[in-house]
Amino acid sequence: MHELGITQNIVAIVTEHAKGMKVQKVVLEIGKLSAIMPDAIKFCFDICSKDTLLENSLLEIIEIPGLAKCHQCGTEIALDKPFGVCQCGSVQLDLITGEELKIKEIEIEEICV
């Protein structure tokens, strides 16, 4: 259940950047090969954001599909797990996308003057 600790990290990072303003939306990018379950993050988010600047904010998760390049023949292969076999028979795959785990952007409330 590493998602709980990860979500606590998310709340801490966003709180730091919100500088006291209420947070309306948090957008995450999570790769499908990152061993992080978006559903678990969503479950933890409501709990972890309670009584913080993030309370009741909208959580949006963009899932990045897995993509690798064969080290041997250069073919690009779509992956749903962090390993696979290329059509040339090689298992030496360099992951291009799918391991992302980041906060892409946040939207904070602004009171204009």
Partner 1 sequence: MCVTCGCSDDAEGKITNLQTGEVNHHHDHHTHTHTLPDGTVITHTHHHDEAPQIHAKIHGTTISLEQDILAKNNLLAAQNRGWFKGRNILALNLMSSPGAGKTTLLTRTINDLKQQLPISVIEGDQETTNDAQKIKETGCKVVQINTGTGCHLDASMIERGVQQLNPPLNSVVMIENVGNLVCPALFDLGEQAKVVILSVTEGEDKPIKYPHIFRASEMMILTKVDLLPYVQFDVERCIEYAKQVNPHIQVFQVSAMTGEGLDNWYKWLTEKVAMSIPV
Q: Which residues bind partner 1 (CB under 8 A)?
A: 1-2, 4-6, 9-10, 13-14, 17, 22, 24-25, 28, 35-36, 81-83, 85, 91-92, 101-113
CA dist., res. 18 & res. 9, Å (int): 14
Q: Smallest distance from the beta carbon of 4 to partner 1, in angstroms? A: 8
**C-beta closer to partner 1: residue 59 or 103:** 103
**C-beta closer to partner 1: residue 10 or 49:** 10
Q: Smallest distance from the beta carbon of 65 to partner 1, in angstroms? A: 17
Helix (H) / strand (E) containing 70? strand 66-70
Closest Cα to residue 68, out of 56, 83, 55, 49? Answer: 83
Q: In Å, how far from its chain's centre is CA 43?
A: 14
Q: Smallest distance from the beta carbon of 106 to partner 1, in angstroms? A: 5
Helix (H) / strand (E) containing 47? helix 38-48
